[in-house]
Amino acid sequence: MAIKTWELDPKFKYEIAATPGGEEIMKCFQCSTCTIGCPVTEIVPSYNPRRIIQMSLLGMKKEVLESDEIWLCAICQTCSERCPQDVKISDLMGAIRRIAEKEAEEGKIEVKSVRPIFDKAFANQLRKYGRLYEVGLSLEYYRKAHKGLISGLMAMQKDYSKLGMRLFKHGKMGPRSMLPEKIKRTDEVKKIFEKMGE
Amino acid sequence: MAVTKLAYYPGCPSGTHAIEQDISTKALFEKLGIELVEVEDWNCCGAVEIEDPHLVYALNARNLAIAEKDNLDIATPCSICFYNLERTNRALREDKDLSAKIRGIDPALDYKGTIRARHTLDVIVNEVGLDEISKKVVKKVPLKVAPYYGCYIGRPSEIGFDDPDNPDSMDRLIELIGGEVVPFSQMKTKCCGGPLMMTKGDLAFEMTKKILEAAKAKGADCIVTACPLCHMLLDAKQPDIEEKYSIKIEMPVLYISQLLGLALGIDPKKLGLDKNIVSTKEIERKVI
């Protein structure tokens, strides 16, 4: 991919640095330690956190935010632990993902990954009940990722019917887990989302 | 041994797919003489899905503040919950402005920073200690075990309680109870892909398959782990991985609290061993 200098956004790196988790981006000196030790790169060789950081530093905002790669990170902290510059890459990738989610919501970019849908559905459960409600999460995620309740349910059945049976047989998914476990003071959690949510 | 009482943070899967971890942790701590008081009205730690660190800190300030009221350190058997609770603890102590901002949201978040957040594995090994545990061991567990630590037990090292590259807290427990640790240093801290399970399942399967196959190749009788998300992939999803790649693994995956519980003579039912997906019958049979 050739760089078109006139399309670069030199402010992108500052935007990342101002996003919680992304503060250390400017320390990166491109040594590749992050990429060499990455368990995802081992399986998907095109996944290259060093390159994502370099592209970000150069200001290739759209390319970074629209790339599928930023959604492959498993947040395992191996890169953060090994980075000689203390860039905290796991957190940095999270900051970049959140900028992408925001820009996608505003219609400025297009995100193909379904991960933002999942993260959002997770947050919605937490905001509503104070705890994770797995059934609610799955229903919301599949409905939105597959653009409709019926197609969502069909995909969910395909992915999870066997696992569901297994969990049921071992007493890990009973009538109790069909309903949400709601905490008493959900108002406190709601307030947290209102005041801290980006 | 100093600790006799802890605030217990079970984590969201404790009532569903990690129920055996919850049951076995409670049974084990009872045996060790440590009272676990569940954090009243605890909320989700945010897991790996809430990516904004400030939001994670606010969510966990509430949990920490509840435990702090009872003047108890908080302990959790889940590696992700531990990571979120303890990084909140550090951040709020170090960043006064952020701490004040979070405190301003609601009186329920008025955490003063006086307690510690710990992984139950850390409490077992570093608080109770191997000497104390060895006095309580009544059965031998002569198994070949692959200890799988995953990510947050050692990483990032400013939060983790064990070595980031070569953790050994479970290794030491396994050896203490008569087990043999199979050579597993290449795999013990390699990510299982858990956070990708729902959105990039193929990749997560590939990552977990490597761990399962390595354990099998080293002749392990079982894997032990200390995280519900790792366990979900390694155990509950193991039949799906076998089917996808047309391979046979049949590797029991126990929580460390279950394996240690067996050595301490706790009844397998009380350790929830009937709830593990891959049968643990062979493991139970080998305990003498």
Looking at the fold, whether B168 and B58 belong to one and the same domain comes out as no
Domains delineated in chain A: 7-105 (1.10.1060.10), 115-196 (no CATH)
Instruction: Identify which of A5, A42, A26 has the alpha carbon closest to the alpha carbon of residue B211.
Output: A42
Domain boundary among B121, B151, B175: B121
At A198 the pLDDT is 60
Would you write out chain A's pLDDT as a tens digit for each of its 198 residues?
688 889 999 999 999 999 999 999 999 999 999 999 999 999 999 999 999 999 999 999 999 999 999 999 999 999 999 999 999 999 999 999 999 999 999 999 999 999 999 999 999 999 999 999 999 999 999 999 999 999 999 999 988 889 999 999 998 987 777 889 999 999 999 999 999 876
Across chain B, which has 288 residues, the per-10-residue mean pLDDT values are 90 94 98 98 97 97 98 98 98 96 97 97 97 97 98 96 97 98 96 96 97 98 98 97 97 98 97 97 95
Burial class (CB in 10 A: 0-12, 13-18, 19+), B2: exposed
Residues B96, B229, single domain; the answer is no
b/e code B90-126 from CB counts within 10 Å (16+ = b): ebbeeeeebbebbbebbebbbbeeebbbbbbbbbbbe
What is the model's pTM?
Answer: 0.97
pLDDT value of position A1: 67
Within this chain, do residues B103 and B139 fall inside the same structural domain, yes or no? no
Q: Which of B113, B120, B12 is nearest to B57 (CA)?
A: B113
Q: Do B41 and A183 lie within an 8 Å CB cutoff?
A: yes
d(CA B93, CA B66): 17
What does the pLDDT read at residue B146?
98
CATH number of B16's domain: 1.20.1050.140
Domain boundary at B88, B121, B154, which?
A: B121
Q: So what's the pLDDT on residue A8? A: 96
Q: Same domain for B157 and B113?
A: no
Helix (H) or strand (E) holding B228: helix B228-231
ipTM over 0.90: yes
Query: What is the b/e burial string over A160-186, where b = at least 16 CB atoms within 10 angstroms of the residue's CB?
Result: beebeebbeebebbeeebeebbebebb
Cis peptide before B13 (omega within 30 of 0): no
Nearest to B257 by CA among B271, B268, B267: B271
DSSP A100-131: HHHHHHTTSS----SHHHHHHHHHHHHHHHSS
Structure tokens at B276: 């593990």
Smallest Cβ–Cβ distance between B155 and the set A81, A98, A197 belongs to A81
Mean pLDDT score across all residues of chain B = 97
A43 contacts B206? CB cut-off 8 A: yes
* Whether B147 and B232 share a structural domain: yes
Report residue A146: phi and psi, to 5°. -110, 15
Longest C-alpha distance within chain B, in Å? 56
- Closest of A189, A47, A156 to residue B42, by C-alpha: A189
A196·B240 Cβ contact <8 A: no
Candidate from A72, A114, A141 with C-beta closest to B203: A72
What is the spatial distance between Cα A110 and Cα B11, in angstroms, rounded to a whole number?
34
Same domain, B90 and B215: no
**Cα–Cα distance between B72 and B61 in angstroms, integer?**
14
User: How close B56 gets to chain A, by Cα (Å)?
Assistant: 9
Q: Same domain, yes or no, for B278 and B145?
A: yes
Say if A31 is an interface residue toward chain B (CB within 8 Å): no
**Residue found by looking up tokens 């929580």 in the block:** B255
How far is A197 from A195, CA to CA, in rounded Å?
6
Domain end: B83, B99, B121, which one? B121
Asked if residue B278 and residue B155 are part of one domain, the reply reads yes
The identity of residue B157, as a single letter, is: S
Q: Which residue in A71, A87, A74 sits closest to A40, CA to CA?
A: A74
Are the beta carbons of A132 and B47 closer than 8 angstroms? yes
CA distance A103 to A188: 28
Whether B200 and B262 map to the same domain: the answer is: yes
Rounded to whole angstroms, the Cα distance separating B135 from B255 reads 21
Most B CBs within 10 A among A96, A127, A182, A196, hence the mutation to make, goes to: A196
B80 and B104 within one domain = yes
Same domain, B143 and B259: yes
Contact B264, B31 (CB under 8 A): yes
How close A5 comes to chain B (CA, Å)? 31
Q: How close, in Å, is residue B195 to chain A by CA atoms?
A: 6
Q: Closest Cα of chain B to A64: distance in Å?
A: 18
Nearest CA in chain B to A113: B199
The tokens of B57 are what? 């800190």
Tell me: do B176 and B205 sit in the same domain: yes
How many domains, in total, are found in chain B? 2
Q: Read off the CATH number of the domain in which B190 is found.
A: 3.40.50.11810
Cα–Cα distance, B170 to B192 (Å, whole number): 18
User: Which residue range forms the structural domain that includes residue B23?
Assistant: 5-121
Separation of alpha carbons A161 and A153, rounded Å: 11
